[in-house]
Amino acid sequence: MQHISRDAGRQDAHAQNLQESAQSISHGLNRFLKLRSSAGRLLTFDTPAGLLPSYAKGAVGSAPGRLRKITASKLQTLAGLRLLLLDKSRKEPRTLLITKDYRRGRRTWMVYSPSLPEALSVTLRSPSSRWLLLSGVLPILLGLLALTGCDDAYSVDIRYPLRTDWMIEKPPTLQPTRYNPPGVFPLYVLDHPDTTLFGPDRDWLIQERDEKKNIFDPRELQQETKELISLSLRELSGRPRHPKVDLFGSKYDELNAKLETQLKLDRKTLAEGAKLYRRHCLHCHGVAGDGKGPTGPWVNPPPRDYRQGIFKFTSSSQGQGERKPRRDDLQRVLLNGIEGTSMPSFHLLKSEEIEALVSYVIHLSIRGQAEYVTMIDLFKEEKGLASPTGQKIYERVRENAELIANQWLKAQESEIKPVKIPEYKSEDERLESAARGFRIFSIKEQGGCIQCHLNMGRDAQFFYDAWGSVVRPRNLYLNQFRGGRRPIDIYWRIHAGINGTGMPALITSDADLQQKEDWIWDLVNFVQFAPYPDKRRAIQEKLDKLQENMKPEQRVKLPLD
């Protein structure tokens, strides 16, 4: 019983993600629920209460009523009908498939379309004559075709759920021994009924929570506190149907104007982004951008949780604690996807749609981080871990949002730019650079990368990242480059590190850049060549020449297999 009560809030949030996915069709069908003609009601649509994928077999529901005065041959013709239509907004063909289903003496048509997240059950009811087939059914079939272009916006009743899942202020220091089991995020094992689910790692997480005070449960906040946070966030960010970023008050007018012009967080763009996010992203990233949509727990690595304001693959030059991505960084991820993950490419979307999605992700992140920082501070005060400030909650939310918004604005003007991009006359020169790069990779006093990427990452140990997920340093022989495989993409990651993962920056000052930029390019060449066995052998040959006058203890050897 104790587990049930503690987990109720999280179940509610997860249920809202599921329900929102299911409502993505029922909202569009409201206007079609009762179609009438002079002969009475013709069609009844049943929308499911649960969530089923578009390829689900069998009836989602069955509508009452009987088919009369339609011959079996005509029914067969209609039931096997596959109609091709052209979506005017996208200028591309789509298919609507209608099949029949005999169940309990009823004949129900099942309608499938790529734009519909569930199958629809449709029953024709009591037509009075055969001519009604032409005068009534065909116009309604045309109405069904229009469903593929129906409103994709959220229902006005949907709100961003207040956070109920475990929060961490910094990555747990204890080292995990395994990946989390499918369907369960690592921190969720803290109140999971199966205490053996995560082995000894569960006990270590409990120790991290109780002794180190590094894991927080927002469900323990006072109810009044949670209600005030929710209201303050709604004033800041609106609802999914009408998203906004609005720091209310005349002193924020200039900041609000910059957010609209420089970050493109105007309400029109955000509303369009919300529709696209709901269609393409919600099932993994969730309504609030928590990375805990219906499919989120089942993929590894898990979908990004935007609410801490941390993004891995960035080109901005801010410090790791405050660094935000540039809009170009988010666009690049959307266009290219992320190798080795479930994040696909959305290259087929129009450029303005990509822009709208980027704006909406920024909106979710500003809202989520303001919630996160405010909750952490209030939790510490309520538990006696910090002195109360007496500041009103709405003021906290607003000030946190102001700080976060300014970090986003600063990021847009702080691109990391190489001082000099080397030009190699031949591949032989690049191989020599890669050989130097492997020495930098191996020597602790230089790059020291091998301390985490043991055996080129193949024997790397598990760690917790900033989101509490279990991760491992990259296996460099896999030929997977999650943040992009261009030289400049790898340059940015080596230069600035990878946010939230524990991978440090090689460059921490301008003086560092003057001294170590050549190191970065050597490392870039090594990382690009490392996945290929023939290149590894060539690098080792260059290493042998480079190290021939060195003492044995100073030499390094590249694993070839």
Q: Are residues 54 and 21 in the same domain?
A: yes
E strand residue ranges, 422-503? 463-464, 470-471
Q: In the block, which residue shows the tokens 């020495």? A: 439
- Contact by Cβ (8 Å): 439, 543: yes
Lowest-confidence segment of 59-73, 442-456, 459-473 by average pLDDT: 59-73
Instruction: Note the pLDDT of residue 327.
Output: 97
Instruction: Note the pLDDT of residue 508.
Output: 86
- Name the domain boundary from 120, 149, 178: 149
Q: Are residues 207 and 309 in the same domain?
A: no
pLDDT band at 152 (very low <50, low <70, confident <90, very high): confident
Residue 44: strand pairing partners:
34, 123
Q: Are residues 375 and 447 in the same domain?
A: no
Q: Tell me the mean pLDDT in the region 396-400.
A: 96
- Name the domain boundary from 96, 118, 149: 149
Report how far residue 528's alpha carbon sits from residue 129's, in angstroms, rounded to the nearest whole number: 72
Retrieve residue 56's tokens: 């689900």
Three-state SS for 336?
A: helix
Distances (CA, A) of 57 to 108, 112, 259, 473: 14, 10, 46, 41
In a domain, 474, yes or no: yes
Q: Are residues 226 and 175 in the same domain?
A: no
Three-state SS for 470?
A: strand
Say how many domains are in the chain.
4
Q: Are residues 116 and 209 in the same domain?
A: no
| Plot region of 13 (φ>0 → left; ψ -120 to 50 → alpha; else → beta) | alpha
Residue 120: strand pairing partners:
111
Q: Are residues 227 and 373 in the same domain?
A: yes
Residue 480 confidence (pLDDT) above 60: yes
Share of the chain above pLDDT 70, in %: 73
In a domain, 305, yes or no: yes
- The model's pLDDT over 211-252, given as tens digits with 9 standing for 90+, comes to 888 999 999 999 999 999 999 999 999 999 999 999 988 889
- The model's pLDDT over 165-224, given as tens digits with 9 standing for 90+, comes to 999 999 998 899 999 989 999 999 999 999 998 999 999 999 999 988 899 999 999 999
- Name the domain boundary from 187, 215, 243: 215
Q: Are residues 203 and 305 in the same domain?
A: no
Q: Tell me the mean pLDDT in the region 54-70.
A: 31
In a domain, 418, yes or no: no
- Give every strand in the sheet of 120-124, ordered side by side: 34-37, 40-46, 120-124, 106-112, 92-103, 82-87
pTM: 0.75
Q: Whole domain around residue 186: which residue ranges? A: 169-215
Lowest-confidence segment of 131-135, 277-281, 301-305 by average pLDDT: 131-135
Report how far residue 256's alpha carbon sits from residue 254's, in angstroms, rounded to the nearest whole number: 5
In a domain, 162, yes or no: no
In a domain, 159, yes or no: no
Q: Are residues 186 and 248 in the same domain?
A: no
Q: Are residues 135 and 210 in the same domain?
A: no
Specify the CATH number for the domain of residue 310: 1.10.760.10
Three-state SS for 421?
A: coil
Residue 316: strand pairing partners:
415
In a domain, 416, yes or no: no
Residue 146 confidence (pLDDT) above 70: no
Residue 40: strand pairing partners:
37
Q: How much is the mean pLDDT over the chain?
A: 79
Backbone angles phi, psi at 396, to 5 degrees: -60, -50
**Which carries the bigger pLDDT value, residue 131 or residue 447?**
447
In a domain, 421, yes or no: no
Report how far residue 201's alpha carbon sits from residue 197's, in angstroms, rounded to the nearest whole number: 9
Q: Are residues 304 and 361 in the same domain?
A: yes
In a domain, 156, yes or no: no
Q: Are residues 195 and 268 in the same domain?
A: no
Segment holding 533, helix H or strand E? helix 533-546
Report how far residue 349's alpha carbon sits from residue 351's, in angstroms, rounded to the nearest whole number: 6
Share of the chain above pLDDT 90, in %: 66
Report how far residue 158's alpha carbon sits from residue 286's, in angstroms, rounded to the nearest whole number: 13
Q: Are residues 460 and 546 in the same domain?
A: yes
Enter the DSSP assignment of 19.
H
Instruction: Note the pLDDT of residue 525.
Output: 97
What separation, in Å, do the N-terminal and C-terminal C-alpha atoms of the chain show? 54
Instruction: Note the pLDDT of residue 255.
Output: 95
Q: Tell me the mean pLDDT in the region 324-331.
A: 97
- Highest averaged pLDDT of the listed ranges 51-65, 130-144, 278-292, 507-521: 278-292
pLDDT band at 510 (very low <50, low <70, confident <90, very high): confident
pLDDT band at 135 (very low <50, low <70, confident <90, very high): very low
Contact partners, residue 100, CB within 8 Å, separation at least 6: 75, 76, 78, 79, 80, 107, 108, 109, 110
